[in-house]
Amino acid sequence: MRGLTEEQQLFQATVRRLSQERVAPRAADIDREDKFPWDLVALFRDSGLLGLGMPEACGGGGADMLTTALAIEEVARVSGTASLLIAVQHLGALPIMLAGTAEQQRRFLTPVARGEQLAAFALTEPEAGSDAGAARTRAVADGDGWRLTGTKIFITHGSVAKTLVVFAATEADGQSRGMSAFVVPSDAPGFHVGHVEEKLGIHGSETAQLQFDGVRVARDQLLGRVGEGFKIAMRTLDRSRLGIAAQALGLAQGAFDAAQSHLAQRRQFGRALTEFQGLQWMLADMATRIEASRQLLYTACDVVEAAGFGIDSSPEVTRMSAMAKLMASDTAMQVTTDAVQLFGGYGYIRDYPVERMMRDAKITQIYEGTNQVQRIVIYRNLPPVASS
């Protein structure tokens, strides 16, 4: 079993305490009011969590993938929305970390790593969801730079981010060169925030439509080489899916904790509910799924971390990342649903946290690659059958 070092255990305990004392009291209000939690942005910035997994040279914490996942997991135990502040900041920074030059990292990554700016990852489009390569946003050569035109949808933190990594089909001299990645500041002329979605869960997290109307980007805003955007996006997702797995794991653990406590206190037929074997079995199954997901996630973090940074990858990295996201998010949906059931009628009302956790858990099966897509990814990256 994958354990934690003493340093990681101390870090985990610190984030857990911060989450219980400062985030948990805000969780229900954030969900009810559906307003972006700028106070938690400040809290996480001051605590060094926003740039936790980013280079120290740029003002980040320099933490490994597992340590970053631990932070997301602990925050998600009390608030799925709050955990996205860390996960999405890391997601928006990853393309710059993977493909940016030293100068680009200094320029674009430093304010993100310091928590001075929020970041977002703009890939999804109306006709390019699971089929990310079908993007219709265009980057047309314009002198020594490019002009971006198109629409992105479902962009988490898209309306509040100051630094966006935007993926667009590149055209140079009328010839298509595939997809490329660009760093775009939110104050660029021609950039507009469109509709902000109203969602089933993760209330308070801004999910926005973005419009690019001839947005001018300079040559030094291109990440990597022309045509490498799809590879950059896929390698980013190899890492960022671990953050979603950690979010899902935290939601599952939080729901399990709440259900176990409720059953110990609630009495029916003259006995505590924990004394009923059928309910004991439900808790046993929930705990088993959570621990299996945790071990898979922590191992996947080790595999991805060992591979190092860069836009090249391996089947093992892609497979393990997809497995962790698939397992943890399916577990989160099952465990949170069971938690609502274990609360009975109380589970269906907003005075208790498990209905919020169930609503929040659903999106983990969908974003950063639906679980149907994860199964395709896993199959395509299985080791070859050994010859007899």
Q: Is the same domain home to 205 and 238?
A: no
How many domains does the structure of the chain reveal? Answer: 3
Residue 18: domain span:
6-113
**Is residue 386 included in any domain, yes or no?**
no
pTM metric for this prediction: 0.96
Q: Is the same domain home to 263 and 178?
A: no
Q: Is the same domain home to 126 and 218?
A: yes
How high is the pLDDT of residue 3? 81
CA distance 186 to 184: 6
pLDDT of residue 107 exceeding 90: yes
Assign 313 a pLDDT band (cuts: 50, 70, 90). confident
**Is residue 58 included in any domain, yes or no?**
yes
Q: Is the same domain home to 54 and 160?
A: no
**Are the CB atoms for 328 and 248 separated by under 8 Å?**
yes
How high is the pLDDT of residue 210? 98
Domain boundary (65, 82, 113) is at 113
Domain boundary (172, 206, 223) is at 223
CA distance 244 to 280: 29
34: three-class secondary structure by DSSP: coil
Q: Report the CATH number that the domain containing residue 99 is assigned in CATH.
A: 1.10.540.10
How high is the pLDDT of residue 173? 60
**Are the CB atoms for 184 and 190 separated by under 8 Å?**
no
**Is residue 356 included in any domain, yes or no?**
yes
Q: Is the same domain home to 254 and 360?
A: yes
β-sheet bridge partners, residue 182: 166, 222
How high is the pLDDT of residue 216? 97
In tens, the pLDDT along 290-307 reads 999 999 999 999 999 999
Q: Which of these, 241, 321, 324, 338, lies nearest to 285 by C-alpha position? A: 338
**Is residue 388 included in any domain, yes or no?**
no
Domain boundary (63, 82, 113) is at 113
Show the beta-strand stretches assigned E in 143-230: 145-156, 163-172, 175-185, 191-196, 207-218, 222-223
Q: Report the CATH number that the domain containing residue 191 is assigned in CATH.
A: 2.40.110.10
Q: Is the same domain home to 310 and 262?
A: yes
Which DSSP string do the residues of 108-138 spell out, in sequence order? IIHHHHTTSS-EEEE--BTTBSS-GGG---E
Q: Is the same domain home to 350 and 241?
A: yes
**What percent of the chain clears pLDDT 90, i.e. is strictly above it?**
92
In tens, the pLDDT along 253-301 reads 999 999 999 999 999 999 999 999 999 999 999 999 999 999 999 999 9
Q: Is the same domain home to 288 and 218?
A: no
Catalytic positions: 368
pLDDT of residue 73 exceeding 80: yes
**Is residue 261 included in any domain, yes or no?**
yes
How high is the pLDDT of residue 311? 84
Distance between start and end Cα atoms, the chain:
31
**Is residue 51 included in any domain, yes or no?**
yes
In tens, the pLDDT along 323-378 reads 999 999 999 999 999 999 999 999 999 999 999 999 999 999 999 999 999 999 99
